[in-house]
Homo-oligomer: A and B are copies of this chain.
Amino acid sequence: MPLIGKLVICGVGLIGGSFALGLKRADAVGQIVGIGRRREPLERALALGVIDEIATDWADALRDADLVLLAAPVGQMDAIMAAMAPHLQDGTVVTDAGSTKRDVVAAIRYHLGHRLAQVVPAHPIAGAEKSGVEAAFADLYVKRKVVLTPLPESRGEAVELVRAAWQACGATVVDMSPQEHDQVFAAVSHLPHLLAFGLVDDLAQRDNAELLFSHAASGFRDFTRIAGSHPEMWRDICVANRVALLAELDAYLDEMARLRAMLAAGDGPALEAVFERARRARNAWAEGLPVQTAE
């Protein structure tokens, strides 16, 4: 008996598809059913062997399902939960892969309020600048973190099923509150994406854009890699987490105002101190050491 007899994935792209492939490789799943807004990506997922079957409606999909993964952009969660709620059975655990958690938890409480014991919100921390089921691969979650934000009402067995599924994909699972999750990821993920999108957009609109980009090198390539991310997904993340993201953006703009003043004053020592502190933190982090060290 596999860990999961019947798995339903709503939204079979990079995230949902890689979950399917990881579980298949671990022999942790029996049957995988895909469902989604549009039929065409599901047909491709079926052709690629990522899913075994396409569901025509939620009643069909949820029949005897053990686990449902909602892997759609967070802006679609309300509509998805509203559609699935009437067909959800007692024995089906529901989880999601949404990049924000307070808004997903709010949608869960609104639409699945009678089913909270079987719902376990989650967020796999895996790069997604390429999207679509063609980009999915079984290794995506190996040694990556998955954050669970269980509800106070979530049943222990439901939490353990979701944890075991992600562990079967090779991930390390950690628990956080939805609030803590959203603040942390506003800082280390959502803000950098916004900054990278902004830089590329700023430069791409210049009259001399071709000249500028023709001289961009490896530093620019890495800095802007996340500006290749999925626009709809990042629109939804920004809107869903805008309170925490605005706070992070404002803190960053304050920092940049300080750097601007140093620059305008030609204050080399002050700039060097900031750069040195940043380099030390960046390198410590990259080596797995504490970021804050005694000077």
Chain A residues near B (Cβ < 8 Å): 75, 125-127, 129, 144-145, 147, 184-185, 187-189, 191-206, 208-213, 215-232, 234-236, 238-239, 242, 245-246, 249-253, 255-256, 259-260, 263-264, 266, 268-269, 271-272, 274-279, 281-283, 285-286, 290-292
Contacts and interface: CB of A to CB of B under 8 A. Distances in A.
B193 A228 contact: no
B256 A249 contact: yes
A206 B216 CA distance: 32
Contact of A263 (B129, B222, B232, B238): B238
Given A127-B218, A199-B191, A271-B239, A226 B223 contact: yes
10 contacts: A144-B217, A185-B215, A187-B212, A188-B213, A188-B217, A189-B220, A192-B199, A228-B286, A231-B272, A235-B268
A219 B192 CA distance: 8
A220 to B, nearest CB: 5
A242 B222 contact: no
Contacts of A278: 196-198, 200-201, 204, 227
B283 A228 contact: yes
A213 B287 CA distance: 12
Given A184-B211, A195-B199, A224 B129 contact: no
A268 B75 contact: yes
Contacts of A246: 260, 263-264
Given A249-B260, A279-B227, A291 B219 contact: no
Given A227-B282, A268-B236, A220 B259 contact: no
Contacts of A205: 277
B197 A217 contact: no
A201 B256 CA distance: 10
Nearest to A194: B259
Nearest to A185: B215
A260 B281 CA distance: 27
What 8 A-B pairs are tightest by C-beta distance, nearest first?
Answer: A204-B281, A231-B275, A235-B272, A200-B278, A188-B216, A202-B255, A222-B222, A231-B276
Contacts of A147: 215
Given A239-B268, A249-B260, 18 more contacts: A125-B215, A127-B217, A145-B215, A185-B215, A193-B219, A195-B223, A196-B223, A196-B278, A197-B278, A197-B279, A201-B274, A219-B229, A222-B222, A222-B226, A234-B271, A239-B263, A239-B266, A253-B260
